[in-house]
Structure 1
Amino acid sequence: MLDASLRPLIDKPLNAIARALSGSGITPNMVTGFGFFLGLLAAASLAFKLDYAALVLILASRIMDGLDGAVARHTIPRSRHPGAKSQESDLGGYYDIVSDFLFYSGIILAFAIGRPEHALMAAFLIFCFVGTGSSFLAYAIIAAKQNRNHEQQGKKSFYYLTGITEGSETIFVLCLICVFPAWFPQIAAIFGGLCLMTTLGRVLQARRDFG
């Protein structure tokens, strides 16, 4: 819900960093991989109840997640893409979305490992993430088949369908559980409900657009 509004604020510093990195040999996929590695460290920290370390690592990981696209747009393309003006690629977009969804669910799984008394609500929240993720990606597949395009959240590798719970809201919730771990059941219940509402909204949108 907030991604499109926050994008103009985020893009300017990320583009500045990407321009500074141009010519350094750092590729977008390296940035994606490093961000995912930081996400794994964040998950491990949560599993050991190192909540504030996890918070810092989550934020760092998400900065890398935003930076990889900026680096792709500002980096000179490799020779195997002679007609390209940047290193933006479908493979890079694929890596990005796979690492994102593994990151989101992995953080919740790690929280449950460290606090097994919250495992049931963690399972519920991961279930809700599956709903938002599958409705998002299934819509993108059909939209690509029909040559639809949507770039309100910035230039993307595929159609970005909006909803109540998007990346910004999910990152906020992951940070929230690091700061207030005792409130996890309440946070999971509220955010999970919002995820289910997002899933329902996307299903209805798909019915209107593709029916």
Structure 2
Amino acid sequence: MFDARLRPLIDKPLNAVARRLSGSGITPNIITGFGFVIGVLAAVALAFRLDHIALGLILLSRIMDGLDGAVARHAAPRSRHPGAKSQESDLGGYYDIVADFLFYSGIILAFAVGRPDHALMAAFLIFCFVGTGSSFLAYAIIAAKTGQNHEKQGKKSFYYLTGITEGSETIFVLVLICLYPEWFPQIAAVFGTLCLITTAGRVMQARRDFG
């Protein structure tokens, strides 16, 4: 919901760093992999209830998640396709989305490992993540098939469908979980419900656009 509004603020510093990294040999896929490893370390920290360490690693991981795309747009092309103007690629977009979904669900799983008394609500939240993720990706597949494009959140490797619960909101929730772990059931209940509303909205959007 807030991604489109935050994108201009986020892009400026990311693009500045990306320009400095351009030509350094650091590829977008390297940054994606590094960010994913940091995310795994964040999950491990959360499993051991090192909440503030986990918070710092989560934020660093999400910075890497934004930086890989910025570097892809600024770095010299390595594509095998003639006429390529950047390092943006379908494979890079694939790596990015897989890493994102493993990261988000992994953080919630790690929280449940560290606090088994909250496992039921963690399972509910992961279930809700599956709803938003599947509705998002399924729409993207059909949109790509029909030649649709949407760049309000910036140039993407796939069709980016908006909703109530997007990346910014999810990161905010992960921050809340680290700062106030005792409130996890309430946070999970509210955000999970919003995820289900987002899923329902995307299903209705698909019905209007593809029906």
Q: TM-score, normalised by structure 2?
A: 0.99
Structure 1 counterpart of 2:77: 77
Q: Which amino acid aligns with 2:182?
A: A
Structure 2: distance between partners of 1:78 and 1:36: 22
Amino acid in the other structure paired with 1:111: F
Letter in 2 for 1:100: D
Instruction: Map 1:4-23; keep pairs closer than 5 Å.
Output: 4-23=4-23
Q: How does 1:87-102 map to 2 (within 5 A)?
A: 87-102=87-102
| Distance (whole Å) between structure 2 residues aligned to residue 147 and residue 80 of structure 1 | 23
Question: How many positions carry a matched residue from both structures?
Answer: 211
- Measured in 2, the distance between the counterparts of 1:80 and 1:91 equals 12
Aligned partners of 1:179, 1:81: CA distance in 2, in Å?
46
Residue 182 of structure 2 corresponds to which residue in structure 1?
182
Q: CA deviation at 1:77?
A: 1.3
TM-score with structure 1 setting the length: 0.99
Q: Which residue matches 2:165?
A: 165
CA distance in 2, matches of 1:187, 1:79: 43
1:49 matched residue in structure 2: 49
Mapped partners of 1:142, 1:165: distance in 2? 21
Q: Deviations over 1:134-155 (max 9, x none)?
A: 0000000000010000000000
2:79–2:89 contact (8 Å) kept in structure 1: no
Does the residue aligned with 1:150 lie in a helix, a strand or coil? coil
Q: For the residues of structure 2 that align with 1:205 and 1:184, how far apart are their CA atoms?
A: 31
- Once the two structures are superposed, residues 173-196 of structure 1 have per-residue CA deviations (whole angstroms, 9 ceiling, x without a partner) of 011100000000000000000000
In structure 2, relative to structure 1, the CA distance for the partners of 1:140 and 1:79 (3 Å cut) is closer
Give unmatched runs, 5+ long, in structure 1.
Answer: none
Deviation at 1:80, TM superposition (A): 3.1
Percent of residue pairs bearing the same amino acid type: 84
Question: Which amino acid in the other structure matches residue 86 of structure 1?
Answer: S
For residue 197 of structure 1, what is the amino acid of its counterpart?
I
Name the aligned partner's letter for residue 172 of structure 2.
Answer: F
Runs of at least 4 residues of structure 1 off by over 4 A?
none
- The one-letter code matched in structure 2 to 1:124 is F
Task: Give the 3-state SS of the residue equivalent to 2:23 in structure 1.
Answer: coil
Alpha-carbon distance between aligned partners in 1 of 2:114 and 2:82, rounded to the nearest angstrom: 49
Amino acid at match of 2:207: R
SS at match of 2:84: coil
Task: Say if 2:24 is the partner of 1:27.
Answer: no
Shift of 1:78: 1.9
Equivalents in 2 of 1:164, 1:80: separation in Å? 38
1:189-208 deviations in whole A, cap 9, x for unaligned? 00000000000000000000
Over residues 114-166 of structure 1, what are the superposed CA-to-partner deviations in whole Å (9 max), with x where a residue is unaligned?
Answer: 00000000000000000000000000000001000000000001110000000
AA matched with 2:201: G
- Structure 2 residue identity aligned to 1:103: F
Query: C-alpha distance in 1, partners of 2:179/2:172?
Result: 11
Root-mean-square deviation (CA, aligned residues, Å) is 0.7
SS at match of 1:152: coil
